[in-house]
């Protein structure tokens, strides 16, 4: 779900009217190339747009929000290989229609979103891992308490644990969703 961020706007949005960014627009919801068979060329086009968009986020004094970024792409499993071809650090050459240099080698870390299993869902995210405030907050509220149960009528000993944690949206300026 795309709940509201701290500014009262949807977390992924094409503008943030409630933030005073002067004439600068904060658009962290990009429309991708949207293909049912997402290719390396389409991913490269979308990556370039997402990176330019993220680095263009500025405050009302025209200061960048994402200085010195450490980028990560958060992709579904079926896009992992495409992301590796474009972003793999050791990949020096790629083959599209002819041998060419890989401009984006080592540009971003690849994180696979195993919860996104549909092979037709080509949405993915570009995240600035160096942002002071991360896109999401996950806070431990109560640490794990380990338990075991030894039922004398059963030959097995059961182990388990209890814990509590909270999570919420935090910083929409450190992430871009590419919607395909």
- Are the C-beta atoms of residues 78 and 119 closer than 8 Å to each other? yes
- pTM as predicted: 0.80
Please, what sign has the CA dihedral across residues 97, 112, 27, 35?
positive
CA distance 25 to 30: 13
CA distance 176 to 53: 8
27-46 mean pLDDT: 89
User: Quick one: the chain helix, strand, coil %, rounded to 5?
Assistant: 15, 35, 50
- Are the C-beta atoms of residues 108 and 66 closer than 8 Å to each other? no
Answer yes or no: is pLDDT of 101 > 70.
Answer: no
Q: How confident is the model at residue 92 (pLDDT cuts 50, 70, 90)?
A: low
Pick from 46, 64, 37: which is nearest to 176 by CA? Answer: 46
């Amino acid at each position: 779900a795309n709940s509201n961020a701290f500014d009262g706007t949807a977390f992924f949005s094409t503008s943030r009217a409630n933030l005073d960014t002067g004439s600068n627009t904060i658009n962290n919801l990009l429309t991708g190339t949207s293909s049912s068979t997402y290719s390396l060329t389409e991913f490269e086009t979308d990556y370039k747009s997402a990176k330019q968009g993220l680095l263009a986020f500025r405050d009302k004094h025209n200061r960048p929000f994402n200085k010195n970024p450490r980028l990560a792409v958060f992709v579904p499993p079926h896009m992992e290989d495409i992301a590796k071809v474009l972003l793999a650090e050791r990949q020096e050459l790629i083959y599209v229609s002819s041998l060419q240099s890989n401009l984006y080698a080592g540009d971003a870390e690849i994180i696979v979103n195993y919860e996104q299993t549909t092979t037709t869902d080509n949405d993915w995210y570009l995240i600035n891992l160096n942002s002071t405030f991360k896109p999401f907050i996950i806070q431990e509220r109560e640490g794990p308490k380990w338990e075991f149960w030894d039922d004398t009528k059963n030959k097995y000993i059961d182990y388990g644990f209890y814990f509590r944690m909270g999570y919420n949206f935090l910083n929409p300026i450190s992430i871009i969703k590419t919607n395909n």
